[in-house]
Structure 1
Amino acid sequence: MSSALSNRTGGQIPAVLGSFIIGIIVLGPILWAFATSFKTEVEAVVVPPTIWPNSPTLENYTKVLQDAAFLTDLWNSVAYSVGAVIIALLVGIPAGYAAARFSFKGKRALMLTVLATSMVPGVALLVPTYYLLETVGLLNSGVVVTIILSARIIPQTVWFIANFVEAVPIEIEDSAMIDGASRFQIIWSLILPLIRPGIAAVATIGIVTTWNDYITVAVFAPEVAKRTLQVALVNQVFDAVGISWSYMMAFVMVASSPVIFMFGFVQKWFISGLTAGAVKG
C-alpha cells in the first residue's frame, strides 16, 4: 500500500510543477505591473530594475483617479459591457430554450449557422460596418456600439443556454404544464432559477469579453467622450509626450479591478455554471 501511495505521490509531482510554472507565467506580469504602479517614474525605468519600490507611493493612483476623463471612460466601459450582456441574455435565453426544447425542420443547420457566426473574425467586418454606420450617420453612437458588442457574444450565449436548459429534466416542465403553467411562466419561474449558475457564467464571460474589447470602440466611436478605459490606455502608448510606465501600470490596475472584483463575487456561480451544462438528466 505504501508503494502504491508513493507512486501516486510521485506521479503528482510533474502536475504540481507544471501548475507552479504556469502560475508564475500568468501571475508574473501582473505582479510586476502591480509593483511598478507604486514606483516613481525614475525608479520604474532604472537599470537594473527593482522588484519592489524602495519608497512605495500612491501618486500614480491619485493621478489616475483625478484625471477628468477617467470617470467618463469608466462609465462607458461599464455601460457598453453591461448593456451588451443584457441584450445578449434577452436574445440568448429564449433562443437557447427554443433550441433545447423545440424540434423543427432545419434546427441543426440553424444552430450550426449561429455557431459559425461566432467564428467570423471581428476585424473582417470592420470596414463594411464602418462605411455602413458612416453612411447612415450612426458613428459615435453608444447604443450602436453596445449592439455590435452584444452581437459578438450572442452566438456563444445561445449555445451555452441551450446546454444548460437541456440539463434540466423535461419531466419538471411537463408537471408544470399539467398544473396549468404557461410557457412564459415555466421559463421565468422554473427554468431561470434552475440555470442561474449557468446564466452567471455566461454573463461573466460576456462582460470580460466586452470589457477587454478595444477595436470595436476605437473604430466605431472615435470621439474622446465615447471611448472606454481600454481605448484610453492604448492612446497613452501613442502619446507624443512619451509613456509614463508607472502611471500606465496604475491605470492598468484600476481598469482591471472592476472585472477582477466581479469575478471574485460570482466565482462560485461561475464554476458551477460551467460544469452544469456538462451533465444531463
Structure 2
Amino acid sequence: MSAAISSGRPNGRIPAILLSFIFAVIVLGPVAWALATSFKTEVEAVAVPPTLWPSTATLENYLKVFRDQSFLRDFWNSVAYSVGAVALALLVGIPAGYAAARFSFKGKRTLMLTILATSMVPGVALLVPTFYLLDSIGLLNSGIVVTIILSARIIPQTVWFIANFVEAVPVEIEDSAFMDGANRFQIIWHLILPLIRPGIAAVATIGIVTTWNDYITVAVFAPEVAKRTLQVALVNQVFDAVGISWSYMMAFVVIASMPVILMFGLVQKWFISGLTAGAVKG
C-alpha cells in the first residue's frame, strides 16, 4: 500500500509542475522578449514575422542609452528619490512601529487602523489638490517635496511591518536590558534594530521597488525635465514625435530595471527571512 502511495506522488505533482511552468512562461516570457529585442537592430525589432532571437546581436542600443546626456541625470534622480524616501520612511516608521508594539494607550487600535487606511487611499485621488497646493506655494519641481510625497506613501506599511517585527521580539529581552541600566534609545539602537534587521531589509526592499517604479508622482509634481526619473523618461519616449525605437526602448528598460533586480538579489536572503519574521511571535 505504501508503495502504491509513493509511486503515485510523482503523478500528483505533475499538475503543480505544469501550472508552475505556465506561470513562469507568463512572467518570464515578456522579460525574455524585451531582453532579446534590446540586442536587435531596429529593422529586425519591427520585422514581420517577428524573430525570437536576434540574427546578429548588437550592443549599439545599450551604447546609445549610455551616450544620452540626460541618462545619468535621470538615473541619479531615481536613486535620490528612492533612497531618500525609504530613509525618511524608516526614520519615521521605526520609532512609530516600536511605540505601537510596546506601548499601550487609549485609541491605539483606532490610530493604527487609521494609519493603515491612509495607505488605501488611491494616490490619483490626491494628485489634483496636492498639485494646486504645491503650485500656489511655489514648491513644484522640488526634489525634497517629491521625496517627502513618495515617503508618505510607504510610511503606513512601514509602521505596520516594523510593529509586527518588534512584537516578534520577546519583551523579556528588553526587561533584562532595563535591569542592566540601558535606556530606551540604547535598547532600540543596540538591541531591537539588530534583531529586526531582516525585517528592515524587507521593508526597505519593498519601499525601493515601490518608489523606483513610481511614475505619476514625479511626472505631476516635478514636470521639469531636469527633475525627471528614468521612468518618466521612458514614458516620454512613447510620446516622442519622432517615433518609438523599440530596440532602444527595450535596452533602456533593461538598464532601468537592473538596479532593482541586483538589489533584490543581494538582499534576497534577508528579504525572505524578514517577511516571515513577523509571522512567528517569540
**TM-score, normalized by length of structure 1?**
0.99
Mapped partners of 1:271, 1:163: distance in 2: 15
1:235-280, Cα deviation, whole Å (9 max, x unpaired): 0000000000000000000000000000000000000000000000
Q: CA deviation at 1:21?
A: 0.5
- In the alignment, is residue 167 of structure 1 matched against residue 182 of structure 2? no
1:135 corresponds to: 136
Structure 2 CA distance for aligned equivalents of residues 277 and 71 of structure 1: 38
CA distance in 1, matches of 2:107, 2:7: 56
- Report the CA distance between 1:16 and its aligned residue: 1.2
Alignment correspondent of 1:223: 224
1:135 and 1:7 map into 2 onto residues whose CA distance is 70
Deviation of 1:2 after TM superposition, in Å, equals: 1.7
2:234 aligned residue = 233
The DSSP-based 3-state class of the residue aligned with 1:10 is helix
Residue number in structure 2 paired with 1:203: 204
> Which stretches in structure 1 are left out of the alignment for 5+ residues?
none
Matched position secondary structure for 2:57: coil
| Gaps in structure 2 of 5+ consecutive residues | none
Q: Which residue of 2 aligns with 1:62?
A: 63
**In the aligned structure 2, how far is the partner of 1:40 from the partner of 1:122?**
39
Matched, 1:126 2:127: yes
Alpha-carbon distance in structure 2 between the residues aligned to 1:70 and 1:5: 57
How far off its partner does 1:17 sit?
Answer: 1.1
Q: How many residues get paired?
A: 281
Aligned to 1:242: 243
Matches within 5 A, 1:139-154: 139-154=140-155
**Alpha-carbon distance between aligned partners in 2 of 1:160 and 1:12, rounded to the nearest angstrom:** 34
Q: What is the CA distance between 1:222 and its match in structure 2?
A: 0.2
Which structure 2 residues correspond to residues 65-80 of structure 1 after superposition, within 5 A? 65-80=66-81
| Deviation of the 1:23 alpha carbon | 0.5
State the secondary structure of the residue aligned to 1:241: coil
Match of 1:258 in 2: 259
SS in 1 for 2:104: coil
Q: Distance in 2 between matches of 1:2 and 1:17?
A: 24
Distance 1:20 1:277 in 2: 31
- Residue 127 of structure 1: CA displacement? 0.2
Secondary structure of the corresponding residue to residue 116 of structure 1: helix
Give me the whole-angstrom Cα distance separating, in 2, the residues matched to 1:118 and 1:7.
47
SS in 2 for 1:56: coil
Deviation at residue 11 of structure 1 after TM alignment: 2.0
Letter paired with 1:215: I
Aligned to 1:190: 191
* Residues 4-13 or 263-272, more deviating: 4-13
Cα displacement (A) at 1:6:
2.3
The structural deviation recorded for 1:163 is: 0.3
Deviation sequence 1:48-67 (CA, Å, 0-9, x none):
11110001000000000010
